[in-house]
Amino acid sequence: MIRRAAACLCLILASSALADPVPDPFAELAHRLLPSVVNISTSQNAKPEAPVRPPAEPGPASPFDEFFKDFFDHQGGGAPHGRKAIALGSGFIIDASGLVVTNNHVIADADEITVILQDDTNIKAELVGRDPKTDLALLRVKTDHPLVAVPWGDSDQAKVGDWVLAIGNPFGLGGTATGGILSAKAREINGGGPYDDFLQTDASINRGNSGGPLFNTKGQVIGINSAIFSPSGGSIGIGFAIPSDLASHVIDQFRDFGHVRRGYLGAEIQSVGPEVARDLGLDAPTGVLIADVLKDSPAAAAGIKPGDVILTMGGKPIADTRHLQRAVAEAAIDQDTPVKLWRQNATQTVELKVTEAKEPEQVATVPKKEQKPLTGGSEVKALGLTLAPVTPDLKDRFQLDDNASVVVTGVAAGGPAADKDLKPGDVVVEVAQEAVKGLDDITRKVDEAHKAGRKSVLMLIDRGGDLRFVAVRIDRG
């Protein structure tokens, strides 16, 4: 079970031949960093009409709901008549002016947030910004008390086996240090979303650890401790931290704008599998395939087209859709970013200027009508498909647009098209990257691919306005 880690003070002491040498003055490093790590106490006023949900527990919009169980110490949770629920977590100071980083789930729904310094000084904090998608939050405290800030490190440069140190507030004890090594990188623990890119460590992370920093041996923050894997509720040496390269970008957005400004591409994308890569002439299944480009979008303005494969963005390789989503989200708004494409068996570079993403508008659904069974059409046995020209009846039945010319009316059970989940009502837009105007175009391209000895043919399919490429196997029987 994946569980949230509330405040942690971890110093990872596991041995590894690949790890950096343990610094001689390891105790001196911990002593120097301790004043920069804070405890965070939050409280939420109970509502008489409903039980209190502790502030540390994420709201319904949090991507962690299904995977993380609240790991905080609570007092008075669910108490009626104005009593408060109290939760404890961790954080760290990134600016001596009073900026404190923590997890979003540490302060979610809190009515009052208190930052507790190493010398037990209590300071009321205000929320600067929070983001449930990355589980990050930034607080500000105002005080004459001298504050010691810690710098960000480069999590991309951190290597598996490196020694790491964590400091936090396990079980509300405060000022606790534990250590070990960086066990793994790029862990997906929440369904593989675009921000699932956790560092894994064998640091002892327990209740109260969330929001605490994970340091390298230079005293730089390379991660924010956020969760543990634990069947029992205690640490078993599998902890997860948000990497600093992701966190620092989000925190900078909070400082500058008070919220996260994420980039918008305006294209439908899909991963490149081995069959699609082969049909596109790629040496390996890498990059992200553009299935469709929205009108007046940043992608359209950059000249990106359906069928293009994005290989790099801003000089960084794009391995899959998750990497592209994160690269677009983190791209500088309204600034040119070079994007390397694979198009028609050659590479080329375009300049992409992403805009700020807006919340998607709600789209009304159209009730389905009761339909009669489909009849007629021409069978393409090599693909296991029955296809028909678009007629007024088919256009109305499948709510097709005016540009549709050929529609799927039947799929042979167990055939190549069925293996790719093609369905009646799918519109064939392209075959082998050539626009389809009629049935003859499809049979011709399939025959050409068959004679050339190809195992599959690449098809662009439109299903209810959603476009995707599929490499359909050619049945040579």
Pick the catalytic residue from 41, 43, 70, 105: 105
What b/e string do you get for 366-394 counting C-beta neighbours within 10 Å, with b at 16 or more?
Answer: eeeeeeeebeebeebebbbbbbbebeeeb
CB of 356 closer than 8 Å to CB of 286:
no
Pairing of strands 434-435, 136-141: unpaired
**Amino acid (1-letter code) at residue 4:** R
Helices (H) and strands (E) in the chain, counts: 9, 28
Pairing of strands 99-103, 136-141: antiparallel
Alpha helix segments (H runs only) across 8-154: 26-33, 104-107
In whole angstroms, give the CA distance from residue 370 to residue 124: 61
74 catalytic residue (yes or no): no
210 catalytic residue (yes or no): yes
CB of 54 closer than 8 Å to CB of 207:
no
Q: Which two structure tokens, joined as six digits, stand for 286?
A: 């890498």
Pick the catalytic residue from 210, 226, 230, 244: 210
In whole angstroms, give the CA distance from residue 213 to residue 36: 10
What length does the chain have? 477
Dihedral-angle region of residue 452 (phi above 0 means left; psi in -120 to 50 means alpha; beta otherwise): alpha
For the beta carbon of residue 453, count every other beta carbon within 10 angstroms: 8
426 catalytic residue (yes or no): no
Pick the catalytic residue from 135, 197, 245, 279: 135
CB of 225 closer than 8 Å to CB of 289:
no
**Amino acid (1-letter code) at residue 131:** D
Q: What is the DSSP letter of 171?
A: G
In whole angstroms, give the CA distance from residue 200 to residue 187: 7
CB of 144 closer than 8 Å to CB of 255:
no
| Residues annotated as catalytic (active site), given as ranges | 105, 135, 210
